[in-house]
Amino acid sequence: MAQYEIRIIANACITRYDVAEGSIDEIVDRYNLSVEDRDAVLNYIFQKRPDIGQSVSEYSLRGSSKIEPHFIFFFLIYSHANSI
């Protein structure tokens, strides 16, 4: 998927999240993306809006096979750094 498509879908997901259409995972899953594209969209969302990433529980990240392990590490480190 092209970068501009990732940005368009990610921004649409952020808008839908802001109007409380569901969790970010539920919203992204409605787009039926490949695992690679889903990861790219989620990474873009969490980079643009870290507050959305903080609302995703650690359990949710560990239970998802769709999120890259390095992203989980980054998320946990970022979350811990912000709680100090």
Specify the pTM.
0.64
Query: How many whole angstroms separate alpha carbon 81 and alpha carbon 16?
Result: 28
**pLDDT for the residue 52:** 86
pLDDT of residue 75: 54
What is the block-wise mean pLDDT of the chain (84 residues), using blocks of 10 residues?
94 94 91 92 92 61 46 52 53
Question: Under a CB-based contact definition with an 8 Å cutoff, are residues 25 and 64 in contact?
Answer: yes
pLDDT of 63 reads 43
CA separation for the pair 33, 65 (Å, rounded): 14
How high is the pLDDT of residue 53? 75
Separation CA 4–CA 67 (nearest Å): 21
pLDDT of residue 56: 60
